[in-house]
Structure 1
Amino acid sequence: MTALAKKTSTKRRLLLASDRSDQSSELASILQSVSEVDTISTSDIPDVPAGHFAGIVVDINLRSAESVQRVRNKLRTEAYSSMPRLFVLADALHHGSMQAWALGATDTISRPLNAEGILQRIRAAFPDNDGYDATDRGKTLNTGVAAAHKVMVKIFEKLPAGAPLTLNDIVEAENKILKAIKHSSLREWLTTVGCHHTASYRHCLFVTGFAVAFAQHLGMREDDQRRLARAALLHDVGKAFISVDLLDKPGKLTDEEMNEIRKHPRLGYDALAGQGGFPPEMLDVVLHHHEFLDGTGYPDGLRDDQISDIVRLTTIVDIHAALVENRAYRLPFTHAKAFMVMEQMGGKLDQHLLQAFRPVAMGSSY
């Protein structure tokens, strides 16, 4: 058997550290369907893990100061410093989430456990060798998606918990994203992203893929491609401050709920402007990506020349991404139908820019 064949048949290996032996058996059985799992108590976490682990899953009482301190002391050692770590929350309460991120969580899952959702998060959070793609193309794509996902975690999980988001966080990801889409394809990016990630993550990653592919199609300079990648990654940052139950509500929103959703551009702008360090054009996209040329958008009712080119482009890819995504309240539109709907929006969108987007939209079916 070749070295590659050996690598292809190797499952990921995870360390499950738990002080909830009565509750972790269900989790262990779920993990075992995609991983080899070594289950230990938190008091038995070794200073140096024996063998290679793709990551560690921690299932502890995050309200117990003793448990938290025990895990913190173990995970702060050099042996665990670069190991991805997924924490199990007893619920979605803010306190437990904050404790998990303070302990260096790279992702979290909540009880009650949902097997399908957990397996999606495991595949996203921890690398594996099952189905290993040895091509540079495949590795580049996976690296780009992972880098973008890392930014989403910082936006939607860590930022609301008080952890700062910096421009460097975005810059670190952009090279890998640009390279992934350039050396694979927009279709492959959308397919990979569409297989997992929560709804808010998936939307931002779809928008990023469309924005970068559109910029590359237009022949923009690499600096401009970077600007668009940054703007797309950040455009919905304000949704981090909106209730997940509201964002993912299956069904029509009430007027009151819609007004709450429409606060997200201002919330995102205020958060980033307050931290400082973000270029004005990125803040412009965050605040104005729901503005329309005819003045019917929000939050400021801008018109025509008041709306910058980078905002016009982001608005187009944002709408297209939303239409072709699978939502709880409707099936996804085909790319052709989505584009037709956008054409029918007439003077709300920059129709010259929209027509330039046509080859990107029509060539991205997955």
Structure 2
Amino acid sequence: MTPTTGSRKKRRLLLASDRIDRSSDLCAILQGVADVDTTLTSGIPDRPAGRFAGIVVDINLRSPESVLQVRGKLSAEDYGSIPRLFVLADAFHHGSMQAWALGATDVILRPLDAQAVLQRVRSVFPDDHDGSIASTNALNRGIAAAHAVLVKIFESLPAGVPLSFSDVMEAEQEILTAIKLSSLRDWLATVGRHHTHTYRHCLFVTGFAAAFAQHLGMREDDQRRLARAALLHDVGKAFVPVTILDKPGRLDNEEKDETRRHARLGYDALLRQGGFPSEMLDVVLHHHEMLDGSGYPDGLHGEEISDIVRLTTIVDIHAALVEKRAYRLPLTHAESFATMEEMGGKIDQHLLQAFRPVALGC
């Protein structure tokens, strides 16, 4: 179909829908900031005709036919670098996971809030006159790559599908490039808008770890090591019941004990599969250890805790403190850093001070 007429817009978007009539309200909103080409999912061209800033997909994510059509079309190489925004009919887990599996860069939820949609469009699809288009594209690719690994962890592992080291390595460079070309602040803002708690926390920790590694001037190989360890640190939560992970309130003692098992569960799962470096297994098992021996699961002390674990522990704690929880407001970055200083000998205070510019620069 032809682009909408009217004054020249900075963006050009492709709106793909399995029901054009149902998407008319969305199209009207998008036309406020873009030229919009609309098409049925069955009519998505094999190659994009011209240059699109992004693709908006509004389909029934429970329809196998619609999902297969979108997957078949958007898996083409020419669509690979184009960010895509999916519309969810509800907040249920299935639709969200299906969207991410189809390569979503971001998601929005019906009923549509026009201002929220426009804000998301400006963030996900920068216009041609925005000097940050390269950094925004890098950011979207980095988050999508990291999220793809998390989908494999939390969806595939519990079903018995193994996670390979190569799965993680493929995401490393995209993550590091995203932090380098955009910023940690942009990473946190984007992740914080649309990810469920467990995914959001893992992505927060990964962003902080990558930024910390770059701030310390680590060699690229060492940056990769820290980023991959951070991305996998909570792999054991794939084996913790979702009702506990997503509980909208504080956990009771029994639920806390169940959650604490994640460190050992993740370690055992990766060890059985084989192929993962010992330092990654170390992080998965020991990122909740404290220097004074009060941590878990092994009650390690001081020098028994490696440097990469100490680094991951710091970014893990900070991420948890600045994230929103159903039962408390998030701390500011300054409040979180002060709280960690008060932890004294539980964590490496020298490394914490090195982390200060990263934490307070957000």
- TM-score band, normalised by shorter chain: 0.7 to 0.9
Any idea what the Cα deviations from partners look like across 1:139-195, whole Å, max 9, x if unmatched? 3x43553343123321333443337654344434434544565577xxx42244224
Name the residue aligned to 1:262: 260
1:339 aligns with 2:343: no
Name the residue aligned to 2:146: 152
1:42 aligns with 2:41: yes
TM-score, length-scaled by structure 1 = 0.74
* CA separation of 1:295 and 1:62: change in aligned 2, threshold 3 A: same
Name the CA distance, whole Å, in 2 between partners of 1:155 and 1:123. Answer: 26
1:287 aligns with 2:281: no
Deviation at 1:308, TM superposition (A): 1.6
Structure 1 unpaired stretches of 5+: 1-7
* CA separation of 1:212 and 1:71: change in aligned 2, threshold 3 A: closer
* Contact 2:264 2:285 (C-alpha < 8 Å) held by counterparts: yes
Q: How does 1:1-366 map to 2 (within 5 A)?
A: 10-19=10-19, 21=20, 23-75=22-74, 80=79, 83-88=82-87, 90=89, 104-106=102-104, 109=107, 112-113=110-111, 115=113, 126-129=124-127, 132-133=130-131, 139=134, 141-142=135-136, 144-162=138-156, 165-178=163-176, 181=179, 188-195=183-190, 196-198=193-195, 199-240=197-238, 246-247=244-245, 249-361=247-359, 364-366=360-362
Deviation at 1:62, TM superposition (A): 4.5
The alignment yields a C-alpha RMSD, in angstroms, of 3.9
Any idea what the Cα deviations from partners look like across 1:91-128, whole Å, max 9, x if unmatched? 566766676566x433574865464776676566x543
SS of residue matched to 2:339: helix
Deviation at 1:315, TM superposition (A): 0.5
Name the CA distance, whole Å, in 2 between partners of 1:221 and 1:149. Answer: 22
* CA separation of 1:152 and 1:323: change in aligned 2, threshold 3 A: same
Higher relative contact order (CA 8 A, sep 6+): 1
Q: Identity across aligned pairs (percent)?
A: 61
Name the residue aligned to 1:3: none
| Aligned residue pair count | 347
SS of residue matched to 1:160: helix
Name the CA distance, whole Å, in 1 between partners of 2:30 and 2:242. Answer: 25
* Contact 2:154 2:238 (C-alpha < 8 Å) held by counterparts: yes
Name the CA distance, whole Å, in 2 between partners of 1:101 and 1:360. Answer: 29
* CA separation of 1:298 and 1:145: change in aligned 2, threshold 3 A: farther
Name the CA distance, whole Å, in 1 between partners of 2:200 and 2:259. Answer: 18
* CA separation of 1:108 and 1:266: change in aligned 2, threshold 3 A: farther
Name the CA distance, whole Å, in 2 between partners of 1:62 and 1:92. Answer: 12
Name the CA distance, whole Å, in 1 between partners of 2:80 and 2:17. Answer: 16
* Contact 1:181 1:212 (C-alpha < 8 Å) held by counterparts: yes
Name the CA distance, whole Å, in 2 between partners of 1:341 and 1:174. Answer: 30
Equivalent residue letter for 1:44: G
Name the residue aligned to 1:4: none
